[in-house]
């Protein structure tokens, strides 16, 4: 392990540390050609890492004056949002529009979306009409749909062309194309009719007509398809790109796998934060003030639930004062129920997200959670009941604790399965709706059961 | 939306419902040629979906007798693990080895790994020596490393070849290659020296020597590199595939983006389940008995914590009996602390997983969580303290509740940030170590603070 792994880090490390100083030195001397040579050897991602470590002034100087526009564009692509937001007001409109012209249209639209309205209009004026129009159209889509994710830099060919003609076109146009793994075949009205992989094309005879080479069963999505569904399709079918069509089945763009990787990671983050009761937008906040605003509303669920639980206890004050030790088991009752709920919830939410639980086996998944909850509740009910019995020397207290844990864990596991699966069926995001509500509800239910059983069995 | 979206579902739906019956009918009549024609029109994933809905006998009959081996292989690839496990003992060794021969080597190794030892040996005997050896080598790697993920069906060329020679080779060998987006360039000792994209190759002049076309800065990983790191590289650099080298820097295989998508989703699931206190292996369990076994140990953390909390309360019995209403606020104190901890934890765990929190800004991330916790604690402390005061008519009880909530939420937020970030620095998976322990610890800490403050301020 160490041998190669450290050699891999060595390959990456010097690109991260030493060159920052070299970049600074060359910048100070205005040695832009040398700078281009230095950064040109690196992957755009690594150059961007170096640039991030410079001051805003240095960053601006570098991007404004570097002679190789491709290099500038590739660095700009890999800069994080924060750095880009700082830089964009500093760059000249001419340079920014030159960069945008070299970007894939989806990245261009994403970057322009960050600009204030007037600057955006000024930028679009500087771009060729066709490109400005394309970007304008992309800006109109919801960023979390196919339209918002897609690029318009796909390579489409007509079904009447031959292999040789396609290869010739490809040679001429390739520099601006983001990804050419699939060639999308359209008819005269630009409707999507087939697909050919680059590999098929390369291995075909030159005179073959595309129509005879293409696959006609093309899986595609509509411009307003949700990103989660697209991620699901690409993951299921192992696609590298997915064509996007408009309402007339005309090819509008493609969504590529690298955009989808980000979506998958983003959706997982959202699921997890929502289950923990954090508004996912909080991840984008860099101030604690903003963060605070996003976490407050979710905690209020917990506070209302807490007060409700307090009310349940208050209503049972007479029971409690005749046997104060009942209170000692509140944390166990609350804790075991809450954890059983969270476990069932996490399994259901991720099961739905990864597709390991489907619409058809929902009922069996819920039944399964129920069985697990009943068994876990029984095991811990007996264990904790026995502890309570011997500790407090009252067999009835043991019985009350045991029965309460058993019933609250069973209810928790069933609700933890039912809620997300039910929400999924109603097409409400299961992660949003379930987390904080469920655990709080289980607290109240558990305590109510506990105190009611106590009143019944202890006759207090 | 509706228009296209429903048309997309229409495209997919009939492949899922109607053809199952058609497949059944053709199977009963042994009409394998018609069957091949029916399924041949579909994507392998959709054919697999149809096959999954058949009985094991039907599945076996179909896979054993279908004439088109490519179709059989593609269906087999997309079958879920469970179906495959049921089928494999039923299929003849001859058929199974024919399927394996047509699979990419990584998939072949994954499938063979599921076989019992003797059957595996029998299968390897039936395969060509070179393939058997490759698969044997792949079986030796940890499945969660580069070696375990990689396929050996990459396309490598020597640096002395010309574009035309490479294209000729590609035409001849393409059928067996899983993915050809990049051509890996090796020297005479098979050491990785460069990379050329298929697009570059297609657009280059025929006489150009690969050495002059290739990029020499190739980012690669060692055979024993961990899958999380590979996922990180592929995501960061937007790679479609990443070459894997052995200890002598010889090219050993490639990891492709579709395998990495699965890893990303898998790692997100693991993070979430661990935070919820479910052993991630439980997701693979299809029996409630197995599931039970995986959830039990984690709940025991909660049970130990609960008992500890009960002990804290028991030790304060005298305080409690002189003012029973103290118990009414247990759920609020426990709930608010636990939720603040979970929120901070989720932000830190996902921040680390997605790279939005890096080693360099850990301290500032912890400080940020601390600030948020202090503020949230103050807001809810004042709110709940006021409620307690008016409800119970005792200003001191309000103060006790307020101070306890404030301090336990602050501690919770700080610990929720410190624990995962600290574990990450120690290279322990932050999600494993943090979840159930943290929330339970906060329960105990919160109650201890509450009861101590009560003794101090209420003089009971």
The shortest C-alpha distance from B96 to chain A (Å) reads: 23
In chain B, residues with a C-beta closer than 8 Å to the C-beta of A42 are 217
Spatial distance between the Cα atoms of B178 and A122, rounded to a whole number of angstroms: 46
**B446 against A352, higher pLDDT:** B446
Query: Are A269 and B350 inside 8 Å of each other by CB?
Result: yes
Residue A216: both structure tokens together: 């006609």
Mean pLDDT of chain A: 82
**B291 against B267, higher pLDDT:** B267
Residue A434, pLDDT score: 62
Residue B180: pLDDT band by 50, 70, 90 thresholds?
A: low
Query: Are B320 and A299 inside 8 Å of each other by CB?
Result: no
* A-proximal residues of B, 409-448, CB under 8 Å: 436, 440, 443-444, 447
Residue B221: pLDDT band by 50, 70, 90 thresholds?
A: very high
Measuring CA to CA, which residue among A438, A460, A163, A456 is closest to residue A320? A460
The shortest C-alpha distance from B22 to chain A (Å) reads: 19
Give the lowest-confidence range in A68-82, B150-164, B268-282.
B268-282
Minimum Cα–Cα distance from B416: chain A residue: A276
**B355 against A406, higher pLDDT:** A406
Residue B449, pLDDT score: 92
Residue A382, pLDDT score: 92
In chain A, residues with a C-beta closer than 8 Å to the C-beta of B347 are 273, 278, 282-283
Residue B329 near residue B450, CB atoms below 8 Å: yes
Tell me, yes or no, if A209 comes closer than 8 A to chain B by beta carbon.
Answer: no
Minimum Cα–Cα distance from A312: chain B residue: B328
Spatial distance between the Cα atoms of A348 and A345, rounded to a whole number of angstroms: 5
Tell me, yes or no, if A338 comes closer than 8 A to chain B by beta carbon.
Answer: yes
Residue B314, pLDDT score: 82
User: Considering CB atoms only, which of A174, A265, A332 is closest to B199?
Assistant: A174
In chain B, residues with a C-beta closer than 8 Å to the C-beta of A379 are 296
pLDDT at A289 over 80: no
Instruction: For residue range A354-398, list pLDDT tens digits in order.
Output: 777 776 677 887 888 888 889 888 988 998 899 888 888 888 889
Instruction: For residue range A207-264, list pLDDT tens digits in order.
Output: 889 999 898 888 999 999 988 889 888 888 888 889 999 989 999 999 988 888 888 8
Give the lowest-confidence range in A164-168, A323-327, B72-76.
A323-327
Spatial distance between the Cα atoms of B45 and B71, rounded to a whole number of angstroms: 11
Residues in chain B: 460
Query: Are A277 and B339 inside 8 Å of each other by CB?
Result: yes
Residue B442: both structure tokens together: 């906060």
Residue B170: both structure tokens together: 């590609």
In chain B, residues with a C-beta closer than 8 Å to the C-beta of A282 are 347
Residue B68, pLDDT score: 85
* A-proximal residues of B, 175-194, CB under 8 Å: 177, 180-181
Query: Are B291 and A368 inside 8 Å of each other by CB?
Result: yes
* A-proximal residues of B, 214-273, CB under 8 Å: 217, 219-225, 234-238, 240, 245-247, 249, 257-258, 260-262, 264-265, 268-269, 271-273
Q: What is the mean pLDDT of residues B330-343?
A: 85
Spatial distance between the Cα atoms of A80 and A321, rounded to a whole number of angstroms: 60
The shortest C-alpha distance from B118 to chain A (Å) reads: 31
Residue A283: pLDDT band by 50, 70, 90 thresholds?
A: low
The shortest C-alpha distance from A98 to chain B (Å) reads: 23
Instruction: For residue range B356-395, list pLDDT tens digits in order.
Output: 777 667 787 788 888 888 988 898 899 889 988 888 888 8
Instruction: For residue range B11-36, list pLDDT tens digits in order.
Output: 444 444 678 888 999 999 999 988 88
What lies within 8 Å, CB to CB, of B362 at 6+ separation is B421, B424, B425
Q: What is the mean pLDDT of residues A444-453?
A: 91
pLDDT at B230 over 70: yes
Residue-range domains of chain B with CATH: 2-144 (1.25.60.10), 156-257 (3.10.580.10), 280-458 (1.10.357.20)
Residue B284: pLDDT band by 50, 70, 90 thresholds?
A: low
Residue B406, pLDDT score: 94
DSSP character at residue A177: -
**A232 against A178, higher pLDDT:** A232
Per DSSP, the residues of B386-451 read HHHHHHHT-HHHHHHHHHHHHHHHHHHHHHHHHHHHHHHHTTS-HHHHHHHHHHHHHHHHHHHHHH
pLDDT at B184 over 80: yes
Minimum Cα–Cα distance from A366: chain B residue: B288
pLDDT at A15 over 50: no
**B323 against B214, higher pLDDT:** B214
Minimum Cα–Cα distance from B236: chain A residue: A45
Residue A286: pLDDT band by 50, 70, 90 thresholds?
A: low
Minimum Cα–Cα distance from A249: chain B residue: B4
**Mean pLDDT comparison of A278-287, A359-368, B126-135, highest-scoring range:** B126-135
**B297 against A194, higher pLDDT:** A194
Query: Are A275 and B310 inside 8 Å of each other by CB?
Result: no
Residue B190, pLDDT score: 92
Query: Are A339 and B217 inside 8 Å of each other by CB?
Result: no
Spatial distance between the Cα atoms of B45 and B297, rounded to a whole number of angstroms: 37
Tell me, yes or no, if B383 comes closer than 8 A to chain A by beta carbon.
Answer: yes
Residue B200, pLDDT score: 81
Quick one: how many helices (H) and strands (E) in chain B? 23, 6
Residue A427: pLDDT band by 50, 70, 90 thresholds?
A: confident
pLDDT at B6 over 60: no
Q: What is the mean pLDDT of residues B209-227?
A: 90
Q: How many CB atoms lie within 10 A of CB A122?
A: 14
Query: Are B258 and A238 inside 8 Å of each other by CB?
Result: yes
Query: Are B4 and A181 inside 8 Å of each other by CB?
Result: no
This model of the complex carries an ipTM of 0.72
Q: What is the mean pLDDT of residues A280-303?
A: 67
Q: What is the mean pLDDT of residues A336-360?
A: 79
Residue B177, pLDDT score: 55
Tell me, yes or no, if A314 comes closer than 8 A to chain B by beta carbon.
Answer: yes
């Amino acid at each position: 392990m160490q041998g190669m792994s450290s050699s891999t880090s060595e390959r990456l490390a010097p690109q991260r540390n030493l060159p920052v100083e070299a970049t600074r030195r060359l910048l100070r001397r205005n040695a832009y050609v040398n700078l281009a040579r230095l950064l040109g050897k690196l992957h755009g991602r690594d150059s961007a890492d170096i640039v991030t470590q410079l001051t805003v002034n240095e960053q601006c100087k570098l991007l404004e004056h570097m002679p190789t526009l491709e290099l500038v564009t590739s660095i700009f692509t890999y800069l994080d949002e924060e750095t880009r937001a700082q830089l964009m007001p500093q760059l000249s409109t001419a340079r920014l529009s030159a960069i945008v012209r070299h970007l894939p249209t989806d990245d261009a639209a994403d970057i322009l979306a960050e600009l204030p309205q007037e600057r955006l209009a000024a930028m679009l004026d500087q771009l060729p009409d066709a490109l400005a129009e394309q970007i304008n159209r992309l800006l109109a889509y919801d960023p979390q749909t196919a339209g918002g994710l897609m690029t318009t830099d796909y390579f489409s060919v007509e079904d009447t062309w031959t292999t040789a003609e396609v290869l010739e076109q490809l040679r001429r146009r390739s520099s601006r194309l983001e990804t050419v793994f699939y060639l999308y075949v359209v008819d005269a009205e630009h409707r999507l009719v087939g697909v050919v992989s680059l590999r098929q094309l390369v291995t075909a005879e030159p005179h073959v007509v595309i129509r005879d080479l293409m696959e006609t069963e093309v899986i595609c999505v509509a411009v307003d398809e949700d990103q989660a569904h697209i991620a699901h399709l690409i993951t299921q079918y192992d696609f590298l790109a997915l064509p996007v069509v408009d309402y007339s089945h005309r090819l509008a763009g493609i969504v590529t796998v690298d955009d989808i990787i980000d979506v998958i990671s983003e959706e997982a983050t959202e699921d997890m934060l929502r289950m923990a009761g954090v508004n996912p937008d909080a991840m984008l906040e860099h101030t604690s003030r903003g963060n605070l605003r996003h976490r407050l509303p979710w905690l209020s669920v917990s506070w209302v639930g807490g007060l409700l639980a307090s009310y349940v206890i208050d209503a049972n004050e007479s029971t409690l004062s005749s046997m104060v030790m009942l209170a000692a088991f509140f944390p166990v009752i609350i804790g075991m129920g809450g954890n059983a709920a969270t476990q069932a919830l996490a399994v259901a939410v991720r099961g739905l997200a990864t597709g390991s639980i489907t619409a058809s086996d929902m009922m069996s998944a819920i039944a399964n959670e129920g069985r697990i909850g009943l068994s876990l509740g029984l095991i811990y009910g007996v264990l904790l009941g026995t502890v309570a019995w011997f500790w407090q020397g009252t067999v009835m207290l043991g019985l009350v604790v045991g029965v309460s844990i058993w019933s609250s864990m069973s209810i928790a596991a069933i609700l933890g399965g039912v809620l997300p699966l039910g929400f999924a069926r109603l097409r409400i995001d299961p992660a949003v709706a379930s987390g904080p509500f469920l655990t709080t509800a289980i607290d109240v239910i558990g305590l109510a059961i506990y105190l009611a059983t106590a009143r019944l069995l202890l006759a207090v």
